[in-house]
Amino acid sequence: MSFGDPKPWTLEELLEGPRSRAAWRELCPFLEGLSAEELAAVTPRLRAWPPEVRTMPDAWWASTLAGDIRPYHRLAATRRLGRLHDVECGRAPAFPEADADSYAEENDHDHLNGEASFFYSATAVAALPGLRRVVLGATAEWHHNGGDIVGWSTVDGPPLITYLDGADYHDNPFAIEVSPDGGVVATSVEGRWFAWSAATGERLWTLDSRRPWSGQIAPGSEIEEDDLDEDDADLEEDDLDEDDGEVEPDGRGSTRFSFSGDGRLLAAGRYTGGPVVVLDVPTGKVLAGGPDDAIDGRGPVALDRSGRLLAYVRDGARVVVRDATSGGAVLAEADTGLADVIDLAMAPDGGQLLAVGPDGDDLPAACRLTFDTTPAGASLEPVTVARPAQGPGGKDLAPLGESWASWRAAWTGRGPLAHLSVQRRGGVLFDGDGRVLLTEPSIRIVSFTPDGHALVGVTSLEEDNLDPIDVWFLDALE
């Protein structure tokens, strides 16, 4: 089948032909003209096509961003948003689908506007609801400065929003969290927890991650040596990976966050242990887990939609659920059967949890748990421990090695999902039963959107500013 031929292809011929991007492009106009019944009939056949060939056309993307979402849009599985060079230049994507060589020829690769630098690629990514803006943290240039943290518009719109200038510190973020309403961005660098207005970049507060109740570092102030704990003042060689210079889990930046559904509460916990706290988002005030009601545990953390239930980890891989109000009691806890818990997700109603991490053989695994309350008390019970049928990049399962920063778990519209990526081995997206939805040979860092409808990631090519930024639409995956 050659799509350069003048012959008009029929819908059935395209459906039965090679499953390629070229065939998909020919199919899209057909899909726009189908009735609801006709579209429903072909949907199962198209969902069986590889996700990477079902790219969202420009017109569909424009309609999606405008809120005009049609049923056939949900058959598109992915879209290239741009490249890190577009972020550096603070511009809308230029030739987003072009390969790296073609992109470099069409663009002045050396021209930067000076607002951000992603010379060594990125270490963290997150997206606001609606995908009109993506937040990225650049890889630190350890000999020079830290990684810029910026908000980039995926469409023609305002210029870059700078949340943190890398010249002011020497670290990079590993997890960036966006509130469900898209109003607040939170992350951790140099042992400090930060929150900003997503729309303006105004710093709301900065807290010491070891003593968040000890008072704020004034908004707008620079990170000074006096603001750091003695252990954080200098980056120790033991905190670095010999191969790529990234911070190890026992170094800085190892904090995970979780917002309540209304975005007013934020749970935070450090991997290295204590404190686990619940914060008032507008002010940064510690509402639970302060010195008078300290929570014995560590990150990762998860809140239910109401913010009443808090889940966290302690004693290796035990998950604890407690009342998140000040002085609230432990309600239940359970052993996940994992060797470690790297990320947690809680169902909006608090009735289920997903814990993800390595099993005893250092293979990727996910433990589903159910949480229930009765007049007699509360219970937390492991339901199953599942492993994906394939490893990152579609390869056979193998020991993970050092991949702690790349785990992500989320409770989405299609239930609990987990994503793991391993440097130089790609990524795998799987559900709580271990069913693989997506494998990618090059993806390196990802984040689920706050509404749980999409996965945004930076793909590792040369680990420089030509690395692409892609989105996968979870409803389109089979």
What would the DSSP string read from start to end of 98-119?
Answer: S-HHHHHHHS-TT---SS---T
Inter-residue contact 381 to 334 (CB < 8 Å): yes
Chain segment 368-390, per-residue pLDDT in tens: 999 999 888 899 999 999 999 88
Crossing angle of helices 36-47 and 21-32, rounded to 10°: 160
Structural domain total, the chain: 1
User: Cα–Cα distance between 354 and 375 in angstroms, integer?
Assistant: 25
CA atoms within 13 A on the CB side of 84: 27
- State both tokens at 27: 């199919």
- 275 preceded by a cis bond (ω within 30 of 0): yes
Question: Which residues make beta-bridge pairs with 352?
Answer: 370
Q: Where does 304-351 show beta strands of DSSP type E?
A: 309-314, 318-323, 330-335, 343-346
Give the residue numbers spanning the domain of 48. 11-20+23-73
User: Cα–Cα distance between 392 and 395 in angstroms, integer?
Assistant: 6
**Predicted pLDDT at 303:** 97
Inter-residue contact 388 to 397 (CB < 8 Å): yes
Enumerate residues 6+ apart whose C-beta is below 8 A from 452: 410, 411, 412, 413, 474
The torsion angles phi and psi of 226, rounded to 5 degrees, stand at -70, -20
| Residue 35 forms part of a structural domain | yes
**Predicted pLDDT at 455:** 96
**Predicted pLDDT at 403:** 62
| Residue 45 forms part of a structural domain | yes
The segments of the chain whose pLDDT lies below 50 read 220, 223-253
H or E, element range at 437: strand 436-440
The 10 Å Cβ neighbour count of residue 148 is 26
Q: Where does 342-425 show beta strands of DSSP type E?
A: 343-346, 352-358, 364-374, 377-386, 408-412, 415-422
H or E, element range at 256: strand 255-259
| Residue 108 forms part of a structural domain | no
User: Cα–Cα distance between 151 and 201 in angstroms, integer?
Assistant: 8
- 300 preceded by a cis bond (ω within 30 of 0): yes
- State both tokens at 150: 């910026």
| Residue 465 forms part of a structural domain | no
* Helices and strands, number each (H, E), in the chain: 6, 28
Chain segment 243-267, per-residue pLDDT in tens: 333 334 333 347 999 999 999 999 9
| Residue 16 forms part of a structural domain | yes
Enumerate residues 6+ apart whose C-beta is below 8 A from 259: 177, 179, 180, 184, 186, 265, 266, 267, 281, 303, 450
Inter-residue contact 96 to 82 (CB < 8 Å): yes
User: Cα–Cα distance between 44 and 420 in angstroms, integer?
Assistant: 27
**Predicted pLDDT at 404:** 60
Task: Scan for tokens 């000076």, then name that residue.
Answer: 114
| Residue 51 forms part of a structural domain | yes
User: Cα–Cα distance between 465 and 96 in angstroms, integer?
Assistant: 14
- State both tokens at 200: 């303006």
From 77, 202, 176, 179, select the one nearest 129 (Cα to Cα). 179
| Residue 430 forms part of a structural domain | no
Inter-residue contact 439 to 390 (CB < 8 Å): yes
| Residue 254 forms part of a structural domain | no
User: Cα–Cα distance between 461 and 68 in angstroms, integer?
Assistant: 33
From 58, 34, 63, select the one nearest 46 (Cα to Cα). 34
